[in-house]
């Protein structure tokens, strides 16, 4: 930058003009060297700025620092339209971010996770622990008594069933013996009648009655 301004000695001698460093020519030479290195592939890396940089610069002389010489020409409307069509604007607005940058939300609470919050088990007081022990002992004692009554009831029921079958079998045996004896007696009486033996009492009574009537 110092080479663009005269030294203090030159300024004292009357030189007030800014020295021309030929920056545009240097830039053109640099671009030409780049295109020579890339060869046929140079067109693949060409951009709209390359055409602006290689265009003729207009020196208005208003910039004391010489910036007007290096200022690029205005981009044409066709080039801007082509750039916007090739690279459309990306929507980056977040609906959950307020204009001031504050993150907003729907206001709904977080859904439950399904797991209850864990709590440390509290130690029971001594009276409660003693009451629980007495209750458990009483429940066990009642369960034992209930089981004993159940077993006693089942045993008595089995004994009653056995006694019933014994009595039933005894009665059945007696009835069978009585029926057998009556059958044998009936058969014996029938054999006596068929062999001409004693007349049955019913026939004898009927015969005597008929004789008296004659």
pLDDT digits (tens, 9 = 90+) for 53-87: 555 444 444 455 554 455 555 566 677 777 777 77
How crowded is residue 79: how many other Cβ atoms within 10 Å of its Cβ? Answer: 15
Q: How far apart are the first and last CA of the chain?
A: 188
The domain total for the chain is: 2
Tell which residue, 175, 174, 200, has the closest CA to residue 186: 200
Residue 148 is predicted with a pLDDT of: 95
Indicate whether 18 and 82 sit together in one domain. yes
pLDDT in tens, 124-159: 888 999 999 999 999 999 999 999 999 999 999 999
Report d(CA 74, CA 76) in Å as an integer: 6
Claim: this prediction has a pTM higher than 0.75: no
| 131 and 207 belong to one structural domain | yes
If one compares 160 and 60, the residue with the highest pLDDT of the two is 160
Alpha helices in the chain (DSSP H): 8-13, 23-38, 48-54, 67-70, 77-86, 126-194, 201-213
How many Cβ atoms sit within 10 Å of the Cβ of residue 122? Answer: 6
- In this structure, the answer to whether residues 81 and 130 fall within a common structural domain is no
92 against 161, higher pLDDT: 161
Residue 116 lies in a domain: no
Nearest Cα to Cα of residue 54 among 74, 24, 78, 83: 24
Domain presence at residue 117: no
Residue 170 confidence (pLDDT) above 90: yes
Does residue 100 form part of some domain?
no
Domain assignment of residue 25, yes or no: yes
Residues 71 and 146 in one domain: no
Query: Which stretch of 11-20, 84-93, 147-156, 170-179 has the lowest confidence by average pLDDT?
Result: 11-20
Instruction: Judge if 158 and 208 occupy the same domain.
Output: yes
**Can you give the residue range of the structural domain that contains 184?**
126-213
Same domain, 76 and 132: no
Q: Is residue 51 part of a domain?
A: yes
In a domain? residue 98 = no
Residues 132 and 205: their CA atoms lie apart, in Å, by 95
**Which of 28, 60, 86 corresponds to the end of one domain?**
86
Q: Is there a domain that residue 60 lies in?
A: yes
Among the candidates 36, 63, 86, a domain finishes at 86
């Amino acid at each position: 930058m110092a080479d663009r301004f005269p030294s203090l000695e030159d300024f004292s001698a009357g030189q007030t003009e800014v020295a021309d460093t030929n920056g545009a020519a240097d830039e053109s030479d640099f671009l030409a060297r780049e295109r020579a290195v890339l060869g046929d592939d140079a067109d693949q890396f060409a951009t709209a700025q390359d055409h602006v940089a290689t265009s003729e610069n207009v020196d208005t002389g208003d910039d004391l620092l010489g910036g007007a010489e290096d200022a690029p020409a205005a981009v044409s409307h066709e080039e801007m339209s082509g750039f916007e069509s090739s690279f459309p604007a990306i929507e980056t607005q977040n609906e959950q971010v307020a204009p001031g940058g504050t993150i907003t939300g729907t206001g709904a609470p977080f859904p439950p996770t399904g797991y209850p919050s864990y709590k440390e088990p509290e130690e029971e007081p001594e009276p409660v622990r003693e009451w629980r022990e007495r209750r458990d002992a009483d429940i066990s004692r009642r369960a034992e008594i209930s089981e004993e009554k159940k077993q006693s009831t089942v045993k008595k029921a089995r004994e009653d069933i056995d006694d019933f079958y014994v009595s039933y079998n005894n009665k059945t045996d007696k009835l069978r013996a009585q029926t057998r004896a009556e059958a044998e007696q009936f058969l014996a009486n029938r054999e006596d009648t068929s062999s001409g033996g004693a007349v049955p009492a019913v026939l004898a009574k009927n015969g005597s009655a008929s004789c008296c009537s004659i």
